Structure 1
Amino acid sequence: MSVHTERSVAAAAAIRHHYDAGNDFYRLWLDESLTYSCALRENPGDTLESAQERKLRFHLDAIGAERAAAVLDVGCGWGAILERLSRAGVARSVGLTLSPEQAEFVRSRAYPGVEVRTENWLHYEPGTRFDGIISIGAFEHFATPDDAPEQKIRVYRDFFTRCRDWLQPDGTLSLQTIAYANMSREQASAFMQQEIFPDADLPTLAEITAAAEGLFEVRSISNGRLDYAWTCEQWARRLRANRAEATELVGSEVVARYERYLKLSALGFRMGKIGLLRLVLQPYRSGFFTDHRVRPT
């Protein structure tokens, strides 16, 4: 078994462990769009719905979705970005997920112009280039706790290389990821590493920029850690309010595990132990067409 295949199998198992708790379970505490990533809060009166919609709009605007003909969403979740791309008239949108339940949910919506694939980016081979690539909350799952820092950077660089080669010369990558901040991997919670996100390891900002060096120009970067603390608190409040129904769906042990995970996550973001990075990147032009990973259809 190749290294890529081993990573793909391990990543798929980890994703199923977390995300296939059931769509009905997540509906109880996510917003209506089933957006399971950090919201973008600007005003004290923001609701979870309005802050999530603003986050989605941030990434759509970053890639110029209103002018795009083709967009790739790496880690598409339950399809909130794909739905908005379809609604905006984007002719072709492709979503990658490792969760069969998420993929089936998106397919059941039959959004015009949307294709969802249960496939790892390591194995994806697009037939044409994209005007934009969005990846929200997937980057955290690319490396494993067993990877040395130089191995992590190689994995991230592989991702950035593929994204560069999949993009049009004037395309844009909009990336959102949790990252280690004032905390090392060794200081991370064993509960989070083993019971919530097994076989996943967060990047650091330094690892991301080292991996992107020479491939992408960082056009903008921001840290939304307080946004994510607030988002986790909103999710936890909704889960508590629906605890009885959630327990009927997944059992008391799973509900208690998620409540603990959301509480610890909010605390970690508020203390600055972890951060939430939003990066907008554009490929450097020189040597752009030297790779042949994009295959004609």
Structure 2
Amino acid sequence: MGEVLTWHPVHLGRRSSRALVAETDWWVTIVHRAKKASSYKGTSSKAILHQYDFLGDFYRLTLGPELVYSYGMWEEGDTLESAQLRKLDHHAEAARAVGARRVLDVGCGWGSLLHRLVETHHVKHAVGITMSPGQAAWARDQHWPGCEVRTENWFDHEPDGPYDAIIAIEAIEHFAGNTMWRAKRIARYREFFERCHSWLLPTGRLSLQANAWNDRGWLTSLVLSPEQLASTGERGSGSEHLGLRAIQGGVKNVREGLHASRKVFPECFLPTRAELTEAAGGLFRVVETRSDPADGVRTVRIWLERAEANRARGAELIGEGAVSDILREQRTALRFLREGRFTVVRMVFEKR
């Protein structure tokens, strides 16, 4: 079993000797833990290459200069670009990353958050991990001071020292594959929370954003009408009746979800807030949770407009069929968000 012993107190800047010794002793204890054996590491490299390297050539035409491929945080008068920066700032502040020594970005994409952390929020060293070689190469080519980009799966991550904060924006959708079984998903999310718990300093925080099904779960989210989803609450009354029209609509929704899963987001599955809360139980205290479907609606609407405007160029890059798949998926996502089938969940976890 390997040991991580490369971290050295000189990386910590001006700290008291007593504090340095205490933190060093704590970290040496943590890194000697035995890693759990597992053959499953979430979305495969092949699927990541399709989603972010192949389709990414088209997405980069639509995302704006920051290349942020996640939902923004909107206020009145915002552009997509300003909404994306507000989202990055929200997570930096929620994770207490401002002015931190070391921060980890899980699923760092093209590195926009890493750059923002160092340049705007005065983080000394920001580490980003992505499984996309194309994204990692692009971010490294920017030569941003204080930013380190690693091409690796979070499962294989071996930090050089503890982190003050961890941020994961729309990455956890990749961690459970496309399993429909709730217990298996929770077990896989649990492993991620265990890793984060071991990587963080005491009382460190994890700020997480995810596409998440309605609190009723994935199947109910797909088959119930928008009116039923809005009126039944998390557990529902147990008396929902599905007429012929609702059944037909549910079949259509399942078909659209399967299309997106096969063509655009292979090997991905959305969690629910309850699943994430359960998976983190005993390891983290949930200090903030919010559902922001309107942010998803506004973001996807702009993405869709830009995708349609860049359709011809996109066809030259990735082919007309692939562009059509993206447009179909974005139209479906927009409808699902408006109908309350899934939402944008933002949660902040503090290490116990």
TM-score by length of 2: 0.76
Shift of 1:185: 4.5
- Residue 173 of structure 1 aligns to which amino acid in structure 2? L
Query: In the alignment, does 2:308 pair up with 1:274?
Result: no
**Structure 2 partner of 1:190:** 258
Mapped contact 2:72–2:84 kept (Cα < 8 A): yes
**Structure 1 partner of 2:110:** 78
- Residue 38 of structure 1 aligns to which amino acid in structure 2? Y
In 2, Cα distance between the equivalents of 1:65 and 1:167?
A: 12
Q: Which runs of 5+ in 1 are unaligned?
A: 285-297
Shift of 1:148: 2.1
- Residue 123 of structure 1 aligns to which amino acid in structure 2? D
Query: In the alignment, does 2:318 pair up with 1:250?
Result: yes
Written as runs of structure 1 = structure 2, the 5 A alignment for 1:124-135 is: 124-135=157-168
In 1, Cα distance between the equivalents of 2:309 and 2:105?
A: 32
Shift of 1:22: 5.7
Q: Which runs of 5+ in 2 are unaligned?
A: 1-35, 223-253
Query: In the alignment, does 2:132 pair up with 1:64?
Result: no
In 2, Cα distance between the equivalents of 1:124 and 1:196?
A: 26
**Structure 1 partner of 2:170:** 137
Q: Secondary structure, in 3 states, of the residue corresponding to 2:155?
A: coil
CA deviation profile, 1:249-288 (whole Å, cap 9, x unmatched): 111111111111111111111111011110011011xxxx
**Structure 1 partner of 2:301:** 233
- Residue 47 of structure 1 aligns to which amino acid in structure 2? T
Structure number with larger C-alpha Rg: 2
Q: Secondary structure, in 3 states, of the residue corresponding to 1:131?
A: strand
**Structure 1 partner of 2:83:** 51
Written as runs of structure 1 = structure 2, the 5 A alignment for 1:82-101 is: 82-87=114-119, 88-101=121-134
**Structure 2 partner of 1:118:** 151
Shift of 1:11: 2.6
- Residue 135 of structure 2 aligns to which amino acid in structure 1? Q
**Structure 2 partner of 1:7:** 41
CA deviation profile, 1:19-65 (whole Å, cap 9, x unmatched): 1126542221112100000110121x211011111101101111223
Mapped contact 1:183–1:274 kept (Cα < 8 A): no
**Structure 1 partner of 2:137:** 104
**Structure 1 partner of 2:213:** 180
In 2, Cα distance between the equivalents of 1:253 and 1:84?
A: 35
In 1, Cα distance between the equivalents of 2:130 and 2:267?
A: 17
Mapped contact 1:4–1:122 kept (Cα < 8 A): no
- Residue 111 of structure 2 aligns to which amino acid in structure 1? G
Q: Secondary structure, in 3 states, of the residue corresponding to 2:98?
A: helix
- Residue 152 of structure 1 aligns to which amino acid in structure 2? R
Name the count of aligned residue pairs.
281
In 1, Cα distance between the equivalents of 2:184 and 2:281?
A: 16
Mapped contact 1:179–1:202 kept (Cα < 8 A): yes
- Residue 266 of structure 1 aligns to which amino acid in structure 2? L
**Structure 2 partner of 1:208:** 276
TM-score by length of 1: 0.90
In 2, Cα distance between the equivalents of 1:67 and 1:222?
A: 25
**Structure 1 partner of 2:195:** 162
Aligned-pair identity (%): 42
Moved more, 93-102 or 17-26: 17-26
